Chains A and B, each alone.
Chain A
Amino acid sequence: MKISFSAEDERFRDEVAGWLADNLRGEFESLRFRGGPGDEHSFPEERKTWERRLAEGGWTGVGWPGAVGGRGLSINQQVIFHEEYARAGGPGRMGHIGEGLAGPTLIAFGSEAQKARFLPGILAGTEYWCQGYSEPGAGSDLANVKTRAERVDGRWRINGQKVWTSLAHESDWCFVIARTEPGSVGHRGLSFLLVPMDQPGIQVRPIEQITGTCEFNEVFFDDAVTDADNIVGAPGDGWKIAMALLGFERGVSTLGQQMQFQNELDQVIAIARDNGQAQDPVMRQRIADAWIGLRIMRYNSLRMLSGPQDGSLSKAAMIYKLYWASWHRDLGKLAMDVLGPEAEILEGAPYDLTRLQSLYLFTRSDTIYGGTNEIQRNIIAERALEMPREPRLG
């Protein structure tokens, strides 16, 4: 057990920091600390341009294997990359669903032709992805998906509706869980399809969220089509692949996310020092507790990353989503409490939020998306602690 990085890794840290200092300026200066959850609506086009700059520098797909065009960094160097990226205020990645979810899924389950077709676009920052899982009747109960796909004339024809689809309006492709076996129920008969967004059969309608901005959408499939080849795995493999993908969500990029959290906490600390809340004994306890909680989040990740790297979630790692989501939500509240009455005052009308107000409101979703806190607790209790499973009706 060893917590320090090697001299070689520290040199790599300097290289990353140096590249970012040289490139994250000029036309990109205004993107620093922008984008990401709660701020996805900001500068989407400029951030796509930034993705291409990253690609030119070889900083996309840093954890993907070299054989598929990735940079093949060691775990330690991936950690360092994500930390330095967030430290420098690197903008929220427009390509994160492609790089973090679609890509790893294709690398693990895709055909050679699919990899050749889709991975280069993700790496180059020219093709963007969204995740079509949730539906009006299938939220926590994802296996209740009703969207159908059938084979007609050498293509898949898709009908149904997805909801809460983040960044669908900015995406070129969507990976869709659809029912391909008519009459099937539950997790059987589902398939994992890759569907182009720009077609007459697809309609994207933004949903206004608690922040007054729109990051997610309803997506309607009305005789939408995709090529017969655009299925990952075999028909009926959809559930298996969908679940494996959720495992990829808990990868190294969480370290970058934490550096973002650190930036937010630093802001809160700076305000507390400035407005005198730092003298209040109760506030001191809460701020220290937040600081401790974030450190522990990092140590947790380092433990997870030192374990098996096959995407399988070890039991101890199952707490991760519940932990960071709850911590981040509490940080949002702490930020408002430190601000006191100033927390109410908007940047401007009609509903122009400050970054911390946006943090406060947006973190209400952290405990909902990607598996709610309640679902996380079910998973921990049933899979890690082997307590009895929930009864399933109907």
Chain B
Amino acid sequence: MDFAFTDEQEMIRESAQDFLADVSTSAAVRAAMATELGYDPALWGRICNELCWQAIHIPEEYGGLGLGFVELTILLEQMGRRLLCSPFLSTVGLAANALLLAGDEEQKRQWLEPIAEGRLTATLAWAGRRGRQDAGAVEVQAQAQADGDGFVLSGVARYVPDGHSADLLIVAARAPGSEGTAGISLFAVPADTAGVERRWLPTMDQTRRQAQIRFDGVRLGREALLGEAGEAGAALEKTLQLAAVCVAAEQLGGAQAVLDLTVDYTRERVQFGRPVGGFQAIKHRAADMMLQVETSRSAVYYAACVADEALFGETSCGELPLAASLAKAWCSDAYFYCAEESIQLHGGVGFTWEYDPHLYFKRAKSSESLLGAASWHRERIAQAIL
């Protein structure tokens, strides 16, 4: 047991922190979020070509760097801290893990290599219109072709991260009449496949794009199916659990950022002849924010270690569902709490478009519902312990 970063992990953290402080400034975030694409392709190109972050945890046999899930969360934490607008979470945190868990060797080579090389963005389309975010939320239907050995997809997927721009869609679809996690299949669907209709959904949090995707009798060959037909429920659940750990890491970074913003601002802002940060009412609230940040850090790093074991370990780590729910529940509340406090402690400027707290406040809310809100994850834990 050694629950501290190795020197190499610390180096990754520092270089990510420094790079993003330079390139993902408030001005850069605001410029990116004003575009329909939602990120700056030139910056994404630098991330892929110079830093290879998109390859970080993809195994070497598929062209990746072969590092672990802890390294992945280190990057995500820093991205969340700087509100980096990018297709990283969708491509690496969702699609790549789905491919790793559900694809056969050939499919992994076919899709993970271009992802690792930075030539392909991807996402996971799983949730339907009812607003649920778990594996049971799948509404798109997959039917065997009457006239071949392929499938036909029909229905709507909603809230798909970067769904309007991703090159490849990993689509969860269910056998007609199936429920819950039964009957679910995963397909690798190039976004330009005939019958795929994508629509950008403008969102309150503008730092992460969402889309609605309609599948209008989309005909897929057998090779699009990842794993066995109707048997991908477990792989989808595990993908979503891993992604929940990824989002929790982003949330941790965001919570740290609003704490830093708030401490800096209240140390400078003078009222009644002294910095407002000297008033105990403010100091104590900042201390409570720090408590939320540090406990989130413990939750995220632990969950990252568990996720690493679950994805790459010899045993199929049974602890992942609980560790993921724990981290997502805790960090969702922590980030929202810190973000709302940061607006309050900034006073009037915290309510303006010009200052940054609202960007984090909005991101905190959207991250909360992404992949299951805190209360949903707590109920998952309740089911396990009660």
Contacts and interface: CB of A to CB of B under 8 A. Distances in A.
By CB atoms of chain B within 10 A, which of A299, A303, A323, A384 has the most?
A299
A388 B1 contact: no
A354 interface: no
A319 B330 contact: no
Given A299-B299, A307-B4, A319 B386 contact: no
B1 A5 contact: yes
A319 B294 contact: yes
Contact of A316 (B294, B302, B309): B294
Contact of A303 (B70, B301, B375, B386): B301
B82 to A, nearest CB: 20
B291 A299 contact: no
A116 interface: no
Given A3-B302, A388-B275, A288 B283 contact: no
B210 interface: no
B70 to A, nearest CB: 5
Interface stretch (A132-140, A202-210, A289-297, A363-371): A289-297
Contacts of B259: 385
Interface in A262-294: 269, 272-273, 278, 281, 284-285, 287-289, 291-292
Interface residues of A, number: 49
A6 B2 CA distance: 10
A303 B298 contact: yes
Interface stretch (A142-150, A329-337, A375-383): A375-383
A285 B305 contact: no
Nearest to B4: A306
A385 B290 contact: yes
Interface string B356-386: 0000000000000000000100110110011
A296 B263 contact: no
Interface in A17-56: none
Given A2-B305, A3-B306, A292-B381, A384 B290 contact: yes
B202 interface: no
Interface in A339-358: none
B360 to A, nearest CB: 18
Contacts of A269: 385-386
A388 B277 contact: yes
Interface in B54-111: 70
A1 B4 contact: yes
B287 A284 contact: no
Contacts of B1: 2-6, 9, 76, 79, 302, 306
B382 A292 contact: no
Contacts of B379: 281, 284-285, 288
A1 B267 contact: no
A69 to B, nearest CB: 26
B382 A284 contact: yes
Contacts of B299: 292, 295-296, 299
Contacts of B301: 1, 299, 303
Given A376-B287, A380-B286, A385-B259, 10 more contacts: A1-B305, A4-B1, A269-B386, A284-B379, A288-B329, A291-B381, A292-B330, A299-B298, A385-B287, A387-B282
Going nearest first, the 10 A-B pairs with the smallest beta carbon separation are A388-B278, A381-B283, A299-B298, A380-B287, A306-B4, A377-B287, A284-B382, A288-B378, A302-B3, A288-B381
28 contacts: A2-B1, A2-B305, A3-B305, A76-B1, A272-B386, A284-B382, A285-B382, A288-B329, A288-B381, A291-B385, A292-B330, A292-B378, A296-B295, A296-B330, A302-B3, A303-B297, A303-B301, A306-B3, A316-B294, A319-B291, A323-B291, A376-B287, A378-B283, A378-B287, A382-B283, A387-B282, A388-B275, A388-B283
